[in-house]
Amino acid sequence: MHRRTFLKALPPLFAVPHISLPSRLPTTPRRLIVDADTANEVDDLFAIARALITPELDIVGLTSAQWHTSPQAPNDTVGLSQQMNEDIVRLMGKTGVPAIEGSNIPLVTPQRPQPSEAADFIIEHVRATPAGEKLDIAILGPCTNIASAVLLAPDIIPKISVHYIGFWHSPATGTWSKREFNTNNDPNAVDILLNTRGLDVHIMTASTSQHLVFTKTEADHHLKNKGGIGDYLINRWESYERWWQADDKEKERWIMWDVAIIEALADPTLGVQESFMTPHDNMQRTIQAYVSIDVGAMKARFWNAFDAFLD
């Protein structure tokens, strides 16, 4: 996720009241689809790998997403994300988890879906979810695939719980900004999620997830020269060139935006959500947003899990 461009505080857009929501601990593994623009940056890979070894999560499948607005984007961004998803499940011995390709282009108009294997996969598995239950979907990139699924099959709306990484947000004032990388990659798809009455939406904002930072020293200690997925993650960190990167000091730390939502889904006590009204230019309804995360606990859980997996 290229968010460095938008890190400075933005002026308030509007203010709304909010209320706190209680956290809950899952009693059984959460059935989860992870939808990711994996090849866009580094944290996506760490988040997917973490999800695949999290006992609290039952990964139904990985779906790949486009990321066309990046200055580094090739023509086939979804193809690169798809290849990385396939690499990850192979290296981790998780080939039973389907890796399904999504749309390579965003929604062209607000009500026109982009059909894809990923959208069909989402529809199929949501419809197969038992009555009274919901299928969780973690969106680590643009919302293209899930928005298309909703447009293609509105009957799935009551059976989905969407967990989206996006937006800048001020909990104190309730103000939102859509000037954020994931949101900019498919604003029409974001509006589908916000404007769909009855759709359960949870936002891990960039404002909150930016506090989860890994250092290269930490990553080397836990992953380097461990073979398999460990070296794959380290190689991605070391080989990735950010378009704004001035020197190697930029690689000494990485904001793990996407890891935050995976850890919060695995253990809801690690994040505090509050209820807010949607942005003023969308249908006015209540959605949930994370206002804080337990950074120390998230980091400890992540590294402990990989130490055990790679031992």
- The pLDDT value recorded for residue 8 is 34
Q: Which residues have C-beta within 8 Å of that of residue 305, sequence separation ≥ 6?
A: 50, 53, 54
Tracing tokens 């070894």 back to the chain, one arrives at 53
- The pLDDT value recorded for residue 20 is 43
Q: What is the per-residue pLDDT across 207-222, written as a single tens digit (0 to 9) for each?
A: 999 999 999 999 999 9
Please state the φ and ψ torsions of residue 75, each to the nearest 5 degrees: -70, -35
CA terminus-to-terminus distance, the chain: 30
Q: Which residues does residue 273 pair with via DSSP β-bridges, in sequence order?
A: 290
- The pLDDT value recorded for residue 247 is 55
Q: Reply yes or no on whether the pLDDT at 114 is more than 70.
A: yes
**What does the domain layout of the chain look like in residue ranges?**
15-240+249-310
- Name which of 99, 45, 43, 105 is nearest 73 in CA terms: 105
Q: What's the token pair of residue 284?
A: 């006015």
Q: What is the pTM of this model?
A: 0.90
Give the β-pairing of 253-255 and 213-215: antiparallel
Q: Reply yes or no on whether the pLDDT at 27 is more than 80.
A: no
Give the architecture-level CATH label for domain 15-240+249-310. Alpha-Beta Complex (3.90)
Q: Reply yes or no on whether the pLDDT at 14 is more than 60.
A: no
Q: Reply yes or no on whether the pLDDT at 21 is more than 90.
A: no
- Name which of 157, 132, 123, 133 is nearest 33 in CA terms: 123
Averaged pLDDT for residues 34-55: 97
CA distance 267 to 275: 19
- Helices 117-127 and 144-152: crossing angle in degrees, nearest 10, is 60
Q: Reply yes or no on whether the pLDDT at 109 is more than 50.
A: yes
Q: Reply yes or no on whether the pLDDT at 1 is more than 50.
A: no
Q: Reply yes or no on whether the pLDDT at 87 is more than 50.
A: yes
Q: Which residue has the higher pLDDT, 153 or 7?
A: 153
- The pLDDT value recorded for residue 24 is 47
- The pLDDT value recorded for residue 300 is 98
Q: Reply yes or no on whether the pLDDT at 237 is more than 60.
A: yes
Q: Reply yes or no on whether the pLDDT at 5 is more than 80.
A: no
Q: Which residues have C-beta within 8 Å of that of residue 267, sequence separation ≥ 6?
A: 25, 56, 297, 301
Q: Reply yes or no on whether the pLDDT at 164 is more than 50.
A: yes
- The pLDDT value recorded for residue 251 is 81
Please state the φ and ψ torsions of residue 293, each to the nearest 5 degrees: -135, 155
